[in-house]
Amino acid sequence: MLANEGHPLLNNAQPLDAYWMPFTANRQFKQAPRLLAAASGMYYRSDQGSSVLDGTAGLWCVNAGHGRPEIANAVARQLLALDYAPSFQMGHPIAFQFAERLAQIAPEGLDRIFFTGSGSESVDTALKIALAYQRVIGRGTRTRLVGRERGYHGVGFGGISVGGLVNNRRTFISLPGVDHLRHTHDLERNVFSKDLPAHGADLADDLERLVQLHGAETIAAVIVEPVAGSTGVLLPPIGYLERLRDIATRHGILLIFDEVITGFGRLGTPFAADYFGIKPDLMTTAKGLTNGALPMGAVFCSRHVHDALMLGSDNTIELFHGYTYSGHPAACAAGMAALDIYTSEGLFTRGLELSQYWQDSMFSLKGRLGVIDIRTIGLVAGIELEPRVNAPGTRGYDIFVDCFERGLLIRVTGDIIALSPPLIVQRDEIDLMVSIIRSALDRIA
């Protein structure tokens, strides 16, 4: 039974007009709304009272499951003790305590923490730090930023500029001086790969090509997701990230890993940097940072980048940047409680422990009508569907609705199903996910 059963949203009609929903076809949704009113553990409860198995950890963020009283109680205590305090030329103890805790689990040397309010803010912060770093070390001509096609880095102007999703970019102005690597998705050569794709490491050489095109002296940083999640679970080919790290190092270009999705245990290690054994210069996080309980993000900065900015007189503001809610006390309390859970319940490594069962379960859908590829890593899966003729995305959407109506929340990007359940998932719940998806595939032509 859900702890918040009896929530006022349950079984009550709600006015829907005032709320302009994000990343949603608002008119379509409001004709047949899907409302989640309560949650506990692995399950949501809809406003109609039905249970919905969470196959997406909310939005890649509720890694320890829903309704954790440890987090709720920590936030309540903090709000009563200190609800808010400014972080500009002031401080409060819990922000320093949380940063120290994060530094202890960070990849070696990435132990200087800048707090933000979201993944989008983390990305824009990391890009600004990269530009500031290049300027302060005497490389002020390095103003160009490099992203990757099919990359998602949030919705700030920096994030959409280095991002590679056309719908994020076509409506809004992008920053000048931005270029992109090609994406690594090669369905023809890597279809149904059970591990990292064998083909495509050479695509990292695109960074070398951009160096030849623009000159290394113009490029400040390159940003990639170690595993691209929002575009349909695109895995890095074997050797790709190593090659990218080497090229960036040789040319003095900072490497930024966007770990908003992969951070905090999603791959079976604290961070994807640990999983792949590659250390970036900067690392962006959010989502699982507080188990999704409160909005918060953090940029993990390497010592050499941080220390280069700690110059000038003592009263100099080293980085003229920050947010009203940087290091918010209640968010820090939620984050520290989440870290306690991740550590005490072994959730940082559970993704590796379940990865083989997870992969075998997902690959049992191979051969189902419309399934053209399956990709897994840690506790992430992408199931790619064949698009309908002249109607791309509609098959994925119909599968999404069908699964929800039968008690499973999945995420779809076009015609790709993405799964990323809370790390507390059990094998029988994995079986149930696969069973519901299999039935949906059989029903939806």
Taking only the tens place, the pLDDT of each residue in 363-386 is 999 999 999 999 999 999 999 999
- Together in a domain, 334 and 368: no
Residue 171's pLDDT band, with cuts at 50, 70 and 90, is: confident
- Together in a domain, 320 and 362: no
Q: For residues 370 and 134, what is the distance between their CA atoms, to the nearest angstrom?
A: 48
pLDDT of 445: 78
Q: Note whether residue 356 is domain-resident.
A: yes
Please state the domain count of the chain.
2
| % residues pLDDT > 90 (the chain) | 93
Q: Which amino acid, 430?
A: I
- Together in a domain, 242 and 331: yes
CA 210-174-412 angle, 5° bins: 95
- Together in a domain, 215 and 312: yes
Q: Note whether residue 5 is domain-resident.
A: no
Q: Per the structure block, which two tokens stand in for 78?
A: 């903090």
Q: Note whether residue 54 is domain-resident.
A: yes
- Together in a domain, 270 and 323: yes
Contacts of 427 (CB under 8 A, 6+ apart): 354, 357
Pick the last residue of a domain from 328, 344, 360. Answer: 344
pTM of the model: 0.96
Report whether pLDDT(138) > 60: yes
- 324-348 tens-digit pLDDT: 999 999 999 999 999 999 999 999 9
Residue 188 main-chain phi, psi, to 5 deg = -65, -45
Mean pLDDT taken over the chain = 95
> H or E element: which one contains 272?
helix 272-276
Pick the last residue of a domain from 312, 344, 376. Answer: 344
- Together in a domain, 323 and 421: no
Q: Is 387 helix (H, G, I), strand (E, B) or coil?
A: coil
Q: Per the structure block, which two tokens stand in for 120?
A: 């989008």
- 15-57 tens-digit pLDDT: 899 999 999 999 999 999 999 999 999 999 999 999 999 999 9
- Together in a domain, 306 and 286: yes
- Together in a domain, 226 and 313: yes
- Together in a domain, 43 and 121: no
Which of 33-42, 135-144, 171-180, 196-205 has the lowest average pLDDT? Answer: 171-180
Q: For residues 69 and 405, what is the distance between their CA atoms, to the nearest angstrom?
A: 29
- Together in a domain, 54 and 76: no
Q: How many CB atoms lie under 10 A from the CB of residue 303?
A: 12
- Together in a domain, 142 and 163: yes
Pick the last residue of a domain from 344, 360, 381. Answer: 344
Q: Is 235 helix (H, G, I), strand (E, B) or coil?
A: coil
Q: Note whether residue 162 is domain-resident.
A: yes
* Structural domain harbouring 324: 72-344
Largest CA distance in the chain: 68
Q: What is the CATH number of the domain that holds 253?
A: 3.40.640.10
- Together in a domain, 43 and 101: no
